[in-house]
Structure 1
Amino acid sequence: MKLELIFTIANSIAFSCWIFLFVLDQKRWVYKLLFSIIFLIMSFTYLYFIVIGMGAETGGGFDTLANVKLLFSSDEALLAGWIHYLTFDLFVGMWISHNADQMGINRWILLPCLVLTFMAGPTGLLLYILIRMIHSKKLIQEPFSNRLIS
């Protein structure tokens, strides 16, 4: 299968999941679908392409920015890196959506957080954390539940 087609399919799957996450956030099956099927498919696809891409004789490493650039010089490794971003940003979006629902944060206030997480990862997470602090009136947050640290 051509890499451009895999790229298009991965983007389409991720975009569809983001829509499900916002529109159907309170449906438990959405989280099961993401966690049990979509993340597995994306992760195995990532693993396949990272093995192929990093197996190429490109050199590189993680010690300098130039060496990281070399690691991703093959199209397969670049595709794997993109799938990595899509998968992890979607996972963060799932956490944001679920946590906001637990805390009673309005879906429309949450929408910019989800859009930014989809488009610019950590920026959307930052916005959500700030909104969550304002909503809870607490500076220190507990990330794993709706309990807040006093």
Structure 2
Amino acid sequence: MDPARLFEIANLTALAGWLMLAIAPLRRTLLVNAARVVGVGLAVTYTVLLAGVLLTLGEGGRELDFSSLEGVTRAFAQPEGVLVGWVHYLAFDLWVGAWEVEDAERRGLPHWALLPCLFFTLMFGPFGLLLYLAISRSPLARRRA
């Protein structure tokens, strides 16, 4: 399948998982588990795409080198490399978002306070996680995990 089409499908799939997390208070366990299933599906997709990239190493002088910025730039200079990296982000960020929802429930954090964290985890991964860690330890949390 065309990398651009796979990119679109992966984005829509991840978005479905994020929407489940956003409405999680309606059926928290079901929706968090469903979002995790989406995350696992993205992880499987990542693994298949990565295998495809690794199997073509050496063709046309292509090599994988994560030991320098130049090497990483070369890896992401190809659409297939960008797609693998993007699906990696989608899978991990969604998994972190699912953890945030579960942890917020344990801590008694109101879901409305979690929504900005989920948005920033979706858009900016580690920043959203840091925001969640700060908010989850604030007075908004009613009980400690």
Q: Normalising by structure 2, what TM-score?
A: 0.85
1:22-62 superposed Cα distances (whole Å, 9 cap, x missing partner): 10244312232233x32332112111211222333422411
- In structure 1, C-alpha distance between the alignment counterparts of 2:31 and 2:92, rounded to whole Å: 16
5+ residue gaps, structure 1: 138-145
Runs of 4+ residues deviating >3 angstroms: none
In terms of mean alpha carbon deviation, does 45-54 or 96-105 score higher? 45-54
3-state SS of 2:48 partner: helix
2:108 maps to which residue? 104
Task: State the shift of 1:121 in Å.
Answer: 0.2
* Corresponding residue number in structure 1 for 2:121: 117
Say whether the 8 Å CA contact 1:116–1:124 is kept in structure 2.
Answer: yes
Identify the residue that residue 33 of structure 2 maps to in structure 1. 32
User: 2:11 is matched with which residue?
Assistant: 11
3-state secondary structure, aligned to 2:122: helix
Q: Tell me if the contact between 2:75 and 2:81 (Cα under 8 Å) persists in the aligned partners.
A: yes
Equivalent AA in structure 2 for residue 76 of structure 1: E
Q: 1:12 is matched by which residue type in structure 2?
A: L
Backbone CA RMSD of aligned residues = 1.8
SS of aligned partner of 2:138: helix
User: Does the 8 Å contact 1:105/1:135 carry over to 2?
Assistant: no
The runs of 5 or more residues in structure 2 that have no matched partner are none
1:59-70 → structure 2 map (5 Å cutoff): 59-70=63-74
Q: What is the identity percentage for the equivalent residue pairs of Structure 1 and Structure 2?
A: 33
Q: Does 1:84 align with 2:88?
A: yes
Shift of the alpha carbon at 1:86? 0.4
- Residue 129 in 1 paired to residue 133 in 2? yes
Equivalent position amino acid for 1:6 in 2: L
CA distance in 2, matches of 1:16, 1:39: 10
Cα distance in structure 2, aligned partners of 1:85 and 1:113: 16
- 1:70-101 Cα offsets, whole Å, 9 max, x none, are 12222112101100000000000001111011
Aligned length: 138
- TM normalised by structure 1 equals 0.83
**Aligned AA for 2:136?**
R
CA deviation string 1:119-141 (max 9, x = no partner): 0000001111111222378xxxx
**Does the CA contact (< 8 Å) of 1:96 and 1:128 recur in 2?**
yes
Distance in 1 between residues matched to 2:64 and 2:77, nearest whole Å: 9
Partner Cα distance (1:102, 1:135) in 2: 14
